[in-house]
Amino acid sequence: MASGTGGATSTTERASDAAGAPRRALAARPIGLAAVGMVLLVAVSLPFAMSNFRLFQFTQVLTYAIALLGLNMLTGYNGQFSLGHGAFYGIGAYTTAIMIDRWDIGYGWTIPVAGIVCLVVGFLFGRPALRLEGLYLALATFSLALAVPQILKYFEHWTGGSQGIVLSKPKAPFGLRLTEDQWLYYLTLAITIVLFVVAWNLLRGRVGRAIVAIRDNHIAAEAMGINSALYKSVVFGVSAAYTGIAGALSAIAIAFVAPDSFNVFLSITLLTGIVIGGFATISGAIYGALFVQFVPNWAQDISKAAPWAIFGVFLIVFMYVMPRGIAGFLHLVWIRLTAPAVSREQGR
């Protein structure tokens, strides 16, 4: 990544590069579209191919994917560390649980409300965070992650204290002949698709370029007329909203919330997800989500502590050998395979 004075030129290059990008993107488009289509086809047919429990796990994968996409917007694209996104996941989950359990509101309404609550909280947290750079932001968000379970326990009247809140799984509406898990899976899948399309549109255009420009060199970005403060706090808010919606969906799917499930390790899980999936990539959210959902399950067979040891080792090893994650690695392979022989020669 460019730094210092070099950053100014690289940002402009990036901008002009992006202007020429659609033409090249057009060439790759059929293959990309085909891949997305295949993934969607598999995703839609999953409920008919597996048990309810497996399906429940894939619902979890989708909620993780939404949360990871949110975190990646902030940390990957905008360059703001957050070691505390588990807090927003928890706020989203509790918003939903409290609305359903205490106020008897339909679960469908609670999901957008959870998103909006997190948007506001994230924006408000992002506002002072503007003044914190790099490490200090990491510290502040890490402390947030450490403190949240305690705050949740404190407001016992609302949150049920350390007992948490038990919900019941919603039945499929409109007389659809689906099991509860199948219905929840489809609901989550639909929301995931909408949120991914929104994120994709947001990040590939003018707004996305501004967000990346702030990460690469915020002074140069400001000189080009980008309102850095506004963008950064809005990205914080949107990122928190995504994570909050993910939290809300997971609360509905698990039908239970408790303060200690939103501890600092959840935040580290989310960070692990974007490291494994790939910084500043959209598809990375899916690889990362598959990883954080299934690897601990397998590792659990070895020992209760094993999943975390494995997360830790993967975090460190990926930083050494694959800093751009699985998505970055696949991209590299793709370039190698498709580049004409001549330019490959030159590349060596």
Partner 1 sequence: MDILVQQVVSGLATGGIYASLALALVMIYQATDVVNFAQGEMAMFSTYLAWSLLQAGLPYWVTFLATVAIAFVGGLLVERIVIRPVEGQPILTIVIVTLGLLVIFNSVAGWIYSYIQKPFPSPFPSKPIKIGNIVFGAHDLGAIGITLVVLTLLFLFFQYTTLGLAMRAAAQNPVSSRLCGIRVSWMLGLGWGLASAFGAIAGMMVAPVVFLDPNMMGGIQLYAFAAATVGGFTSPMGAVAGGFLVGVTENLVGTYVSFIGTELKLTVALAMIIIVLLVRPTGLFGRTTVRRV
Give least dist CB 134 to partner 1, A.
5
d(CA 137, CA 181): 38
Minimum separation from the CB atom of position 69 to partner 1 (A): 18
Nearer to partner 1 (CB atom), residue 43 or residue 327: 327
* Smallest gap from residue 52 Cβ to partner 1 (A): 30
Of 139 and 330, the one with the shorter C-beta distance to partner 1 is 139
Report in angstroms how near the CB of residue 22 gets to partner 1 at its nearest.
Answer: 30
CB 117 within 8 A of CB 91: yes
CB-based burial, 127-149: b 16+ in 10 Å, e otherwise: eebeeeeeeebbebbbebbbebb
Closer Cβ to partner 1, 61 or 148, answer by number: 148
Which is nearer to partner 1, 83 or 97 (by Cβ)? 83
* Cross-strand bridge partners of residue 165: 257
Taking Cα atoms as reference points, which of 238, 244, 241, 330 lies closest to residue 287?
330
Of 136 and 298, nearer to partner 1 (C-beta) is: 136
Rounded Cα distance, 344 and 340, in Å? 6
Footprint of partner 1 (CB under 8 A): 1, 4, 75, 81, 83, 128, 131-132, 134-136, 138-140, 142-144, 146-147, 150-151, 153-154, 219, 264-265, 268, 271, 275, 303-309, 311-316, 319-320, 323
Name the phi and psi angles at 255, rounded to 5: 65, 30
Considering the complex, state which of residue 21 and residue 219 has its C-beta at the smaller distance from partner 1.
219
Q: What's the CA gap between 104 and 95, in Å, rounded?
A: 12
| Shortest reach from residue 135's CB to partner 1, in Å | 6
Q: Which DSSP state fits 282?
A: S
CB of residue 147 to partner 1, shortest distance in Å: 4
Q: How far apart are CA 146 and CA 64, in angstroms?
A: 20
| Contact (Cβ atoms closer than 8 angstroms) between residue 99 and residue 251 | no
For the CB of residue 5, give the shortest distance to partner 1 in the complex, in Å.
8
CA 107, distance to chain mean position in Å, is 22
Instruction: CB nearer to partner 1: give 152 or 249.
Output: 152
Which residues, 6 or more positions from 323, have their beta carbon under 8 angstroms from its beta carbon?
Answer: 279
